[in-house]
Structure 1
Amino acid sequence: MKPDLPIWHAPDGSVVSCTEKVKVMTENMEELAQVAQDAFEDAILMGCDEHQVRAFLVAMMQQLDNPYRA
């Protein structure tokens, strides 16, 4: 699965233009998308409700903690 990735921005609104940073973000997001897709498919195959699994994945992402917050 290849997600449609955005142009990444810094908190000040500037574009993250460093090639290596963009490459790492692309790799991380593609890997995350594949792991989420695999877990989603496993859940469906095991008889879980699709809507509940989707809602859980969304809630899990919304609960991520920023350990670098000032």
Structure 2
Amino acid sequence: MKTTDPDTIIWRKPSGAPVACLEKIKVLNENHAELRQTVQDIMEDALLMGCSEAQIRAAMHALIDEVVPAFGEQAD
């Protein structure tokens, strides 16, 4: 089992308390699974086109680091 398997992730609020709403957890898990598949597709396409795996990984890490939310964290 991968450490980023959504079934093993405990989604947390800014306070550190776990998200308890099953619908919210379902949405987060679905988004996670979709993102995982997209990242997998990007990696495979890039490798098939002869790109460096290390460069693709660095580009994807940088992309995540550059994402800025439209609004701040919500209070508990």
Q: TM-score, normalised by structure 2?
A: 0.84
Alpha-carbon distance between aligned partners in 2 of 1:60 and 1:27, rounded to the nearest angstrom: 20
Instruction: Return structure 1 stretches of 4+ with deviation > 3 angstroms.
Output: none
Greater RCO (Cα-Cα under 8 Å, separation 6 or more)? 2
Counterpart residue number, 1:23: 26
Count of residues in correspondence between the two structures: 69
Matched, 1:36 2:46: no
Q: CA deviation at 1:46?
A: 0.2
Identify which range, 3-12 or 46-55, moves more after superposition: 3-12
Q: CA deviation at 1:12?
A: 1.2
Alpha-carbon distance between aligned partners in 1 of 2:31 and 2:72, rounded to the nearest angstrom: 21
Give ranges in structure 1 of 5+ residues lacking alignment: none
Counterpart residue number, 2:10: 7
RMSD of aligned alpha carbons: 1.5
Q: TM-score, normalised by structure 1?
A: 0.90
Give ranges in structure 2 of 5+ residues lacking alignment: none
